[in-house]
Amino acid sequence: DKASIFDQKVQEIAQQYDGKLSFRYTGPWPPYNFVTIRLQLERSAVV
């Protein structure tokens, strides 16, 4: 699967730059929603 392939590539790069590059990645994380939703209640004419 793609996540395993990605993880393997990250490990290869980490070994290649050992002692020169330090990084950490985490996840999977849910997608974030950057949309602002504004709701307004309106009164009904029906009683």
Q: What angle do CA 13, 5, 20 make, to 5 degrees?
A: 10
- Which segments of the chain does DSSP mark as H helices, in order? 2-16
What pLDDT, on the 0 to 100 scale, is given for residue 15? Answer: 92
Its pTM surpasses 0.85: no
The domain segmentation of the chain, as residue ranges, is 1-29
Closest CA to 3 of 31, 25, 22, 18: 25
Cα distance between residue 25 and residue 32, in whole Å: 17
Q: What is the mean pLDDT of residues 24-32?
A: 78
Exposed, middle or buried, 18 (CB in 10 Å: 0-12/13-18/19+)? exposed
